[in-house]
Structure 1
Amino acid sequence: MGIYGAINSAVSGLTAQAIALENISGNVANSQTTGYKRLDTTFSDLVSGGGATQGSQVSGTTFATSRATNTIQGDISQVDVDTYMAINGEGYFVVTQAADVVDGSTTFADETFYTRAGDFERDENGYLVNSAGYYLQGFPLDPATGNPVGDNPTVIQIENQPLAASATAEIDYQANLPRVPDTNDYDDSDPATALLAAAVGTGNVAVANETAFLNSSISGGSVTIYNTNGTAMNVEVRYAKTANAAAGPPAVNDTWTMYVGSGGDATNAYFDVGDLEFDSTGALTNMTAGVIGTVNSSSDGFDLASLTINGTTATNVEVSFAGNSLTQYSDPDGTASSVALDQDGYPAGELTGVAVDQSGRVIASYSNSQQRAVFEIPLATFEAEQNLKRVDGAAFASTTSSGEADLTGGGQILAKNLELSNADIADEFSKLIITQQAYSANSRIVTSADEMLDSALNMVR
């Protein structure tokens, strides 16, 4: 081969270094592209024919191939956008592209792509789209169980549909009632003067007796509940002590009656919920049904089949004292202390925001302070991810060599983070220097070989 072989080797070197330069330039151009995976260059030699041992062989030509760096993670940077995500570890977001718009609705391509570019934001139609135009896919969650539905991910869409109201079913009540209530009627010496005024009578408190009732009872706190269509109702609780403990016969425990305000009823100012008895240790020992309340099945609260406040009615509401949350311990202030009322209802709410949590679930937030997990974001892994096909927008497509996507594994999704390009400009510039020098060296070989051919041709002159 000789001189011509040297020229062929040098030309192959020029071609290989040109490919390396192309990869370097692409890496530098994408050094700020979110989720970009650089392409390195691998050089392989081609041995020239002839010779049984290396001593009788000569160096051959070379060729260059691109080497994927999908398994090399880029730096992760914190951001302030709730729907931005990064993957710590292996895996890809499952995405697709828009195909067309039909009657104002977006249709999507059948082909699935995979990307590490997690700069997704919600568009005007509620879809999560990244800067390259890829639409995020995930598993919808069952509202009742919170579990993913189906085996194939679908395009994530969080619509502006309001969250329906939920009627209050339970009021968790906590309080400590004093041994002697400091009512307006109490004379600071005789506990009997702190009992419910006789004029009030038993059962519901009539409007005509409201003043006498307020003077002989104490506040038990208030809470806003909601009926089936989300209308707010303010539940105001008051307690009146109706009996002091006595040895008997018959023996009598400290007894209180629980009331709820009517909110302006023409007949009744307060409704009688039921009676509560406490032993000498301050523990609740017995409950008796009132006018509107019945003792619940677990004997730790009252069931209100119907409660009407200011003309609005709620049904099937339970007032629960579970966990011994209602007590009667001595209190020098004579008021109900440690009062806490929590309820489980809420009004209808408008969508106010969308975010991603650390478990990879899409969370919708509403104006009624409710949050709902609506989608779960899967991560796709591959047996041979280096064999994925690169497509525009820092994305990839599966191939027969990469294997099918496995949606059951992957790394951890980091909310409010982005994975940066794994191409480092300093490293790429160092490669550029080496590539430039190698290219120049190969060009010098071509020049030297040309001079040697000229010398050989000049020998015949």
Structure 2
Amino acid sequence: MGIYGALATAVTGMAAQSFALENISGNIANSQTTGYKRMETGFIDLIPDAAVGRQVPGAVLGYSRSTNDVRGDIVTSPTGTHVALNGSGYFVVAEKTGTSDGAAVFGQAQYYSRRGDFEMDSEGYLRNGAGYYLMGVPIDSSTGNVSGSVPQMIKVSNGLIGAEATGRIKYELNLPAEPASGLSADFATVLSNADQLDGDSELAADLGWTAGDTFAMTINGTTHTFTEGTDGTTLDDLIAWVNNTGAANARLDEAGRLAVSPIDADYAITLSGDGATQMYTTLTAAAPPPVHLNASQFVNRSVEGGAITVYAANGASVNVQMRWGKLSGEPDTWQLYYMDKSQPQSWTPVPNAEFEFDDGVLSRHNGSTVSLEDTLVIQIPGLSVNGTVVGDVEIDLGAGGLTQFDNANGRASVSTLTQDGYPAGSFMSVAVNDSGRVVATYSNGKQIELFQIVTANFNAENQLKRLDGGVYSSTAESGEAIISIDGGMTGGALETSNTDISEEFTKLIVTQQAYSAGTRIVSTADEMMQEALNMMR
């Protein structure tokens, strides 16, 4: 090829260095572009066909080499909807093509991007700074699992969420080995003698009643008072009254206990007087109405077990206060109660909520043996507080969540007390968590996971076709997208450009010198040609 070959080769070298300069320029220009991947320049030598002894280096061709697999630095962001991919993969995005009837219309093509500066637009869609819209799969609010596999546009509603009635209370606590100041001591005498309430006047002495003590029973506003005589007439008169007059559907059951059948929703029995405490637990029924001690007497003989706000189906809130009464000493037996009315205060036993403990460990529930592995769930049917009906509510005591270990202050220690209901709430904000889930927060404190952001992976990600706005499209060389919902994200963060300015300036110097050297070759070849032409003059 000679001089002309050298000249042509030098020109290709200059063209290749110009191509490299263009990539360097673009990298420096996008050094602050979110999610940008720099372009490297590679060179291919072009060898002309010749005998081995006559081969020359030949020309050169520049080409671009992507760095899509090189992650940029991740920096925090104050915007909750900003999200960075801390592994491989790309966000799946779509382009808005127009509107129809005031609603956004999106193209069918899917694009892929590492740019995660998403923010909610006026319609509730998440759009990044380049104008592309994020896609994901919806989440089933009842199970918390994704409910599909095909990505769709993520849209967050800014409307109200309806109320949810409380269905379950998670409750775990430790009861004291000995209640403070002898609390609940009077409960033990009653249970040990309850089955003996059969008219025996000697029971008065067993219960500690003396002549002149009074016992009053108020049923639906009508009060019946009995006075203890020297021969136990209180019990005799009470039982005669129960059996002969019916006592508003009160009766003696087969075990000799005073049983009460409900009359209506307002049916209530109030006990007062010297014998009230002893008589309290003798009032039983298959479906017990609100039966209670005088409020101050009950509170003085029980331990506080925590309180929690629960919600009715319409979002109305009520406060459920719980107390525990110790019924006997060996084995230690406790009963759970809740306050069903605050004015006047009344307390109701929770059905099937009698627990026995052995050395601090729960051993029996309503007479049945339990183990530490057993999960205990009891129910309050038709829970109603101060007239507000919540409905059937389960109390989940967990496995090993109820204990009776020594406590120096003699009080119950609540470790867990939560519930699953909530009132209606208005939309406040939206954010993306580290699992890649889009979470909406409402004024009632409820956080609802709406969508799972999906990612797309490729077998040859450096073969993706680059488009405007930091997005890519798949090619035959890259392979089809492999959709994943495994997350690998950091919420409230952004991935920066992977351009290193200092490295780019180094490449700039090298490129400039190589280009300059190419120009010298052109100059030298020109001079040689001039000398050859001068030979003919």
TM range (shorter): 0.7 to 0.9
Are 2:340 and 1:262 equivalent residues in the alignment? Answer: yes
2:354 to 259, 276, 290: 276
Structure 1: which 5+ runs fail to align? Answer: 247-252, 289-297
1:222 to 307, 324, 329: 307
1:85 to 72, 83, 86: 83
Structure 2: which 5+ runs fail to align? Answer: 191-206, 209-273, 368-373
> Is this contact kept in 2: 1:85–1:118, CA < 8 A?
yes
Q: Distance in 2 between matches of 1:141 and 1:394?
A: 28
Displacement, 1:315?
A: 1.0
Displacement, 1:209?
A: 4.2
Displacement, 1:132?
A: 1.1
2:453 to 377, 380, 404: 377
Which residue number corresponds to residue 232 of structure 1? Answer: 317
Q: Distance in 1 between matches of 2:297 and 2:487?
A: 68
Which residue number corresponds to residue 249 of structure 1? Answer: none
Displacement, 1:390?
A: 0.7
Q: Distance in 2 between matches of 1:299 and 1:222?
A: 22
Displacement, 1:264?
A: 4.8
Q: Distance in 1 between matches of 2:41 and 2:147?
A: 43
Compute the RMSD of aligned alpha carbons: 3.5
User: Residue type of the partner of 2:311?
Assistant: Y
Displacement, 1:76?
A: 2.5
> Is this contact kept in 1: 2:305–2:414, CA < 8 A?
no
Q: Deviations over 1:307-346 (max 9, x none)?
A: 3222211111133445465566676655444475332222
Which residue number corresponds to residue 464 of structure 2? Answer: 388
Percent sequence identity over matched residues?
43
Displacement, 1:379?
A: 1.9
1:161 to 159, 162, 174: 159
Which residue number corresponds to residue 13 of structure 2? Answer: 13
Displacement, 1:221?
A: 2.8
SS at match of 2:483: coil
Aligned length, in residue pairs: 440
Pairs within 5 Å for 1:61-140: 61-140=59-138
SS at match of 2:61: strand
Are 2:277 and 1:197 equivalent residues in the alignment? Answer: yes
Q: Distance in 1 between matches of 2:57 and 2:456?
A: 44
Which residue number corresponds to residue 456 of structure 1? Answer: 532
> Is this contact kept in 2: 1:34–1:421, CA < 8 A?
yes
Pairs within 5 Å for 1:190-339: 197=277, 202=283, 209-240=294-325, 244=328, 258-264=336-342, 269-274=346-351, 276=354, 278=356, 283=362, 285=364, 287=366, 302-323=378-399, 325-326=401-402, 335-338=411-414
Displacement, 1:214?
A: 4.5
SS at match of 2:341: coil
Q: Distance in 1 between matches of 2:511 and 2:437?
A: 46
Which residue number corresponds to residue 291 of structure 1? Answer: none
Distance 1:441 1:235, change over 3 A: same
Displacement, 1:149?
A: 2.9
SS at match of 1:97: strand
Pairs within 5 Å for 1:419-438: 419-438=495-514
> Is this contact kept in 2: 1:168–1:227, CA < 8 A?
yes
Displacement, 1:284?
A: 6.5
Which residue number corresponds to residue 37 of structure 1? Answer: 37
User: Residue type of the partner of 1:52?
Assistant: A
Pairs within 5 Å for 1:345-364: 345-364=421-440
SS at match of 1:65: strand
TM-score, normalized by length of structure 2? 0.72
> Is this contact kept in 2: 1:178–1:335, CA < 8 A?
no
Displacement, 1:31?
A: 1.1
> Is this contact kept in 1: 2:179–2:303, CA < 8 A?
no
